[in-house]
Chains A and B, each alone.
Chain A
Amino acid sequence: MIFLWHKLKEKGVLGINKRNADFILPYNKRKYYPLVDDKLRTKIIAFKKGITVPELYGVIEIHRQIRELEKILENINDFVIKPVHGCGGKGILVIIGNIKNKFKKTDGRLIALEDIKHHISNILTGIYSLSGQPDKAIIEYRIKPNKIFDKISYRGVPDIRTIVFRGIPVMSMLRLPTSMSDGKANLHQGAIGAGINISNGITTWGVVGNEIIGEHPDTGCAISGITIPEWERCIEIAAECHGFSGLDYIGVDIVIDQNHGPMVLELNARPGLNIQIANKKGLLKRLSLIKSLDPIPTDISKRIKIVKQYFSTE
């Protein structure tokens, strides 16, 4: 036990206590939390700062606005409707096509506009929100994951989690949905976490729970050695998110869209530590290095240079 303790310490593995005491408490000011906790606010601010986000078609805040739904959906074929404060993927309605005033769901079934309105009405009453408060519904662009992920994900949308400390990306992992996780990119529920060499965007290996795997359990395709498209842009976006969030220690979730490239999904003020297992690497050495940098270059390209210089996985 003590032997393992020292080994972990040597490897620079960050524990929850240390993360909270030395990074989240001193670096993340409480007042900036609401910004990242509200996905709609994050989205709007990120958009204003010129960061690509899934396009927002419309927000419905009160029942009266449901009448405007037809107008919002006039020129769009596929879209996603979700509650702002929802969690665990509840209340998300995905429409992949529009056929003769009927809307096609992912499972191929057709529903009417009235059904969609009813769904939105349910969202507004707060059925899907955790705290039970009245919620808002947002209608946004449906992400079409880059084709490169087709072989290594089971339905759903894979995303890339990057820890950003003082504006410098520190470590990344790719989260791949599996049949066990029911198509969700949630590591707790059995999604794969794959390590990424942050300097070049090539995946290293995958981890499910605490087990290291080489192939995706559902598709059987190799997880390692995949170059994530537009990787440089991915970490640039992650670094830019630091600027508007006001938080010095964040997790940035990015998806790579077939048409629009990397997009920011959401930010997390208390990112988990599983990323270390996926990368088989401790965060602490990299974080300490950034801690000692003074000042941090304001130019994004210079920050990316630091990433490439110091954080290359051998």
Chain B
Amino acid sequence: MKNLHVYILSFILIILGLFIFIYKAWVLNFPIIPDKKVEIWTIETRISVQALPGPTKMNFYIPKELYNYSIVDESFVSGNYGLSVEDEGPNRVVSWAIRKSKGKNVLYYRLQIIRDNKKQATKSKEKNFYQEKPDYTDLEATAITALLDSVRSSSADVTSFAIELIKRLNDENPDENVSILIKDIIPGKERVNRIKYILAGAHIPSRIIYLLKLEDGVRHAELIPWLEVYNGSDWTALNPRTGEKGIPSQMIIWSFGKDKLISASDGIKINDISFSVGRSFEKLIQISNQRAKKLKSPLIEYSLLSLPLDIQNIYRVLLLLPLGIIAVVFFRNIIGVETFGTFMPILITLAFRETQLIWGIALFSLIVTLGLMIRFYLERLKLLLVPRLSSILIIVIILMMFISILSYKLGAERPLSVALFPMVIIAMVIERMSIAWEETGPIDVFKRGLGSLLVAAIGYMLMQNPLLNHLIFVFPELLFLILGMLLLVGRYSGYRLTEIWRFKQILT
């Protein structure tokens, strides 16, 4: 009954910890691996306009969702213009409006994105696209009908039909019909529109999309017109020059189906629109944090990352203690290693943080041994407890001082850090050891002393592990997991491993 209660409680804690961890890692994309830097692309759109006096309005299409990329941050610089952003089908439209405009203005739109392979643009709910056959001129009609018939005979479905058509239109030695159709049409936007025009003759819905190439340091990037055809259920992107399917890598779709990205009311003249693309590397944790803020997740608003940096750093150390505690609990209750005091090994571990492991163990052993010798001498003086402890404390400080000075004179750097050892802890260790020496004998003192050092060393390795270090700080909810596991160990009533050795004699 008692056990069931503990099991349920620890189960809830473990599930809770894991759930928040998984949510943060997979949904909010917090990095599981420490210091992972990610590519972050910054796209800046600069629109310079010349406005006549009077009210003016201007619409500009921007991406709503990106395929394979996530929007981390975006911002607008609108000057005196009023700004509104609205969804419009697969695009978003920014409207800048002003009642009394005057002269030249520059408007900015800044977008930051990162690669996110899981990210899929949501499919449009619109399903039925019907394409009217345009009114072709007689000449066009003859050529298009002949071309489409010939393409139809060598294609199987909408996509292959479009690909075949694009190939023919781009043929180096075009046949007569093609020559008529693409005469005077310059490659680019006009070419895509021409393909659309011809595809419409076969009732195939198609649209123009604009791609932006992600290339570091480009100041005046051009949007690349691309073609998409609708096969009855999905839109397929096709290269208008080669007929190749899909979008080249390192490209994002800026807009769907909009011939002109920017439109303005009378009285405003768009002088220039330019895209600049830049790449930077940032720590994933910052980006995740930024993005989570955008999602308005309460997990972030009330997380450690929202604290000032100096306080964050305190928690970086504090959150390491549970890792040491795991080592202590595991070694004491499962393995059965005896130590001095319950949390003494963790305190020793904290001391090791400053001196590194090997030097830490060496210096610790040295000071404790010397201190113990002096403590045995004090034993003869029969001092009362508090003055005795205080004397040991002062002796420990003198010993540390001595070691630091001596090592400096000898040219060793590391032992200088001995001064960072918590001397109160060492004084207590010495006192406990000397009492244990009297009570249970020197063998026991060595056993427990080595046990304490072993647990401290393991604890140190856990606490210095960069992965664990990072995980516990970014995902402090793992504390629930640790707590749940500790509750389970609290009801563990099996043998400690060392007991097997201890009781072995009973079996003979």
> Could you tell me which A residues sit within 8 Å of B by CB distance?
1, 4-5, 7-9, 11, 13, 15-18, 21-22, 87-88, 90, 122, 125-127, 130-133, 186, 188-190, 207, 210-212, 273, 276-277, 280-282
Assess whether A4 is in contact with B504, with CB atoms less than 8 Å apart.
yes
Task: Give the secondary structure class of B's interface.
Answer: helix
Closest 7 CB pairs of A and B: A132-B385, A18-B493, A15-B495, A88-B439, A188-B440, A21-B493, A189-B441
In the complex, what's the smallest C-beta–C-beta distance from B217 to chain A, in angstroms? Answer: 63
In Å, the complex CA distance between A126 and B383 comes to 9
**Residues of A contacting B222 with CB < 8 Å?**
none
Contacts A/B (CB < 8 Å), 25 sampled: A4-B507, A5-B495, A8-B507, A9-B495, A13-B499, A13-B503, A15-B495, A16-B496, A17-B496, A122-B382, A126-B384, A127-B382, A130-B435, A132-B388, A186-B440, A188-B440, A189-B440, A212-B505, A273-B503, A276-B506, A277-B503, A277-B505, A277-B506, A280-B506, A282-B506
B494 interfacial contact with A, CB 8 Å: yes
**Residues of A contacting B139 with CB < 8 Å?**
none
In Å, the complex CA distance between A21 and B495 comes to 12
Task: Name the residue of chain B whose CB is nearest to the CB of A16.
Answer: B496
Assess whether A90 is in contact with B438, with CB atoms less than 8 Å apart.
yes
Against A, the Cβ 8 Å flags (1 = close, 0 = not) of B475-508 are 0000000000000000111111101101111111
B170 interfacial contact with A, CB 8 Å: no
Q: Give the interface centre of B333, B386, B439 by most chain A CB atoms within 10 Å.
A: B439
In Å, the complex CA distance between A90 and B503 comes to 31
Assess whether A210 is in contact with B493, with CB atoms less than 8 Å apart.
no
Assess whether A16 is in contact with B499, with CB atoms less than 8 Å apart.
yes
B63 interfacial contact with A, CB 8 Å: no
In Å, the complex CA distance between A211 and B336 comes to 20
In Å, the complex CA distance between A244 and B384 comes to 35
**Residues of B contacting A282 with CB < 8 Å?**
506
Q: A13-B499, A212-B508 are in contact. List 12 more A-B contacts (CB 8 A).
A: A21-B492, A22-B493, A88-B440, A132-B384, A188-B439, A210-B502, A212-B505, A277-B502, A277-B506, A280-B505, A280-B506, A280-B508
Q: Which of A15, A21, A127 makes the CB contact (< 8 A) with B496?
A: A15
**Residues of A contacting B439 with CB < 8 Å?**
87-88, 188
B444 interfacial contact with A, CB 8 Å: yes
Q: Which of B435, B438, B492 makes the CB contact (< 8 A) with A17?
A: B492
Q: Give the interface centre of A88, A90, A190 by most chain B CB atoms within 10 Å.
A: A88
Task: Name the residue of chain A whose CB is nearest to the CB of B502.
Answer: A210
Within 8 A of A (CB), among B361-393: 382-386, 388
In Å, the complex CA distance between A207 and B505 comes to 9
**Residues of A contacting B503 with CB < 8 Å?**
8, 13, 273, 276-277
In the complex, what's the smallest C-beta–C-beta distance from A38 to chain B, in angstroms? Answer: 18
In the complex, what's the smallest C-beta–C-beta distance from B377 to chain A, in angstroms? Answer: 16
In the complex, what's the smallest C-beta–C-beta distance from A239 to chain B, in angstroms? Answer: 25
Assess whether A17 is in contact with B494, with CB atoms less than 8 Å apart.
yes
Task: Name the residue of chain A whose CB is nearest to the CB of B439.
Answer: A88
**Residues of B contacting A281 with CB < 8 Å?**
506
**Residues of B contacting A207 with CB < 8 Å?**
505
Assess whether B499 is in contact with A15, with CB atoms less than 8 Å apart.
yes
Q: Which of B388, B491, B500, B505 makes the CB contact (< 8 A) with A210?
A: B505
In the complex, what's the smallest C-beta–C-beta distance from B485 to chain A, in angstroms? Answer: 15
In the complex, what's the smallest C-beta–C-beta distance from A180 to chain B, in angstroms? Answer: 9
Q: Give the interface centre of A16, A122, A190, A211 by most chain B CB atoms within 10 Å.
A: A16
**Residues of A contacting B444 with CB < 8 Å?**
188
**Residues of B contacting A126 with CB < 8 Å?**
384-385
Assess whether A16 is in contact with B336, with CB atoms less than 8 Å apart.
yes
Q: Give the interface centre of B438, B493, B494, B497 by most chain A CB atoms within 10 Å.
A: B493
Against A, the Cβ 8 Å flags (1 = close, 0 = not) of B335-348 are 01000000000000
In Å, the complex CA distance between A126 and B382 comes to 10
Task: Name the residue of chain A whose CB is nearest to the CB of B438.
Answer: A88
A13-B506, A188-B440, A277-B506 known; A131 vs B491 contact (CB < 8 Å): no
